[in-house]
Structure 1
């Protein structure tokens, strides 16, 4: 438990600093009200609006842990949202619509996983194929228009509340907990890390890398489907052109801010979702503070650069040498006449 807390401590400190800075420019940032049977306020809005990126970050964390990347998650959001909206508009009902959207996300993940694990295409190229073609698929489903619907039960998933808390918050928190428990309470987490560290060696050790890789990409597709359902239910319509647009970059950024290495290996889902909340806090803070929206992109770029520099092997080697030098300086000088070490 202590090790897990130390793992996410930098992200918690960063989030706290961002919230404090935002409160300086917008004093009501931390205020939470109870109106109409639900909680409201900027902090609650951060937790709700950050749900899609947090969900994408959960799946992206697992993919990156295997030394892969999934550029199609934003497009999968558009496809699954279109599929769910089409099912609702066709009178299927809420249950079948959700199942269809989730199944669509799993199929998209299966496609990416097969290209990577079986055919051997590089992950960035394999997922780029679906990224570029997927919005065309979504437009075919919606017939090139914004497919709207009016189903209160489905809309509740995006804009409703449960026990005064917005439903999207429950969805991304429970999803993150479920995946984290599955990875850490079973051997799956170690197997995923083993593939990311050395896929060939893990295969020689008896790990079925192909099946596990496919499962990881399917998990990413499932998380993207949940994000697509929330986005579609929130606006009561499927927008194939704009749903999830460029959110794959925010998801990757959230994983990087969480301290997870893009070279694969050890990972932390908790740190990644904290990274997603950091991104949403930046977005909301800039908006509430009255700064131009262009600052958002500059801050994100600077944040990515800082994290990557800190994580770079050269920087790690530099810090290691500094620590050794400081340790030697703290050591007592040898007594006169004693043999040197």
Structure 2
């Protein structure tokens, strides 16, 4: 049992899980009813449900960001893609004579996601074909994207009064928030397609050594197109959820700084920014840590303006715990446990 715990402590996901548990315990101490979940009108309510619902957009983007980072890339444009996606959907819905028509909402969602996909292909083109550094290539769309969203909304905050569209952000299905179900489906799809096929191995190989992968016959260019397109598509979905939850398209604030939260979730989860091996399970834990941290700030009465400071402190702590020095210390601990276990078996 101790040896198994030592092996688990040596994994990169150990400290994020410990941190998540600590944050949950702090919330429970500050608010004894924190773990309480109630059912009203067939819907689940409670602080844990709020964490899942509010953290769903970050998780959705973080899943796509994980695959991009695994290829030695980065996507800083996801927040802007969120704003564009929400603005396009709102413009189409409000431009219709019947905003409450599910068909109109379906068209708006399809067009928004189609545009998001095109934006992802654009990022992939800049990185894979033109060879521009990912941070610069996506910074272009990050800068221009908000302006595009402002042009679509004509610089106004567009209020969307559409019951079918509102379901994306605040609706429920089988008692669970629709946004949580969408996030779960995207996470499961990404895990299935990368871990049950050769795609995950190819992504890791490109991230570890692009030149060796190319010589081995891996089509890295098409792979980069795929991961950037998927990341932008994920951002488009998250943008629809955020806009639906706000019942308004706000080009300035929709998805603002969400790219930082997504990157933090990926890093906290143990995926290296240097590319290569990645962990979708770690990204899930990282996204929960980020949202639980925000909830903790409100629960314990800390001023919300200090949220970014606490996020920085948490990331620093996790990175230090995941550092080579810490890993080496745990490796020595595991070896000492193995030696003791071997001596005990020999003595018996």
- Which residue in the other structure is 1:145 paired with? 156
- Which residue in the other structure is 1:83 paired with? 88
Q: Structure 1's 124 and 314: CA in aligned 2 closer, same or farther, altered over 3 A?
A: farther
CA contact (8 A) 2:62 2:283 kept: yes
CA contact (8 A) 1:259 1:307 kept: no
Residue 234 of structure 1, CA deviation? 1.0
- Out of 257-266 and 88-97, give the one that drifted further: 88-97
TM-score (norm 1): 0.90
**Residues matched between the structures, number:** 330
Residue 94 of structure 1, CA deviation? 1.2
Q: Describe the SS at the equivalent of 1:34.
A: strand
CA contact (8 A) 2:16 2:318 kept: no
Residue 9 of structure 1, CA deviation? 4.6
In structure 1, distance between residues paired with 2:329 and 2:18: 24
CA contact (8 A) 2:86 2:239 kept: yes
In structure 2, distance between residues paired with 1:9 and 1:178: 24
Q: 2:63 aligns with which of 50, 58, 66?
A: 58
Q: Structure 1's 111 and 160: CA in aligned 2 closer, same or farther, altered over 3 A?
A: same
Q: Is residue 2:160 matched to residue 1:160?
A: no
- Which residue in the other structure is 2:125 paired with? 114
Residue 295 of structure 1, CA deviation? 3.6
Q: Structure 1's 311 and 263: CA in aligned 2 closer, same or farther, altered over 3 A?
A: farther
In structure 1, distance between residues paired with 2:124 and 2:283: 22
Q: 2:42 aligns with which of 37, 43, 53?
A: 37
Aligned CA RMSD, in angstroms, stands at 2.4
Q: Which runs of 5+ in 1 are unaligned?
A: 333-341
Q: Describe the SS at the equivalent of 1:271.
A: helix
In structure 1, distance between residues paired with 2:86 and 2:92: 10
Q: Describe the SS at the equivalent of 1:70.
A: coil
- Which residue in the other structure is 1:123 paired with? 134
Q: Describe the SS at the equivalent of 1:255.
A: helix
Q: 2:112 aligns with which of 72, 84, 101?
A: 101
Ranges of 4+ aligned residues in structure 1 off by more than 6 Å = 2-7, 327-332
- Which residue in the other structure is 1:222 paired with? 233
- Which residue in the other structure is 2:20 paired with? 15
Question: Deviations along 1:221-279, whole A, 9 cap, x unmatched?
Answer: 01101100101111221100000000100000000110111111111112102211111
TM-score (norm 2): 0.89
CA contact (8 A) 1:176 1:270 kept: no
CA contact (8 A) 2:12 2:322 kept: no
Residue 290 of structure 1, CA deviation? 1.3
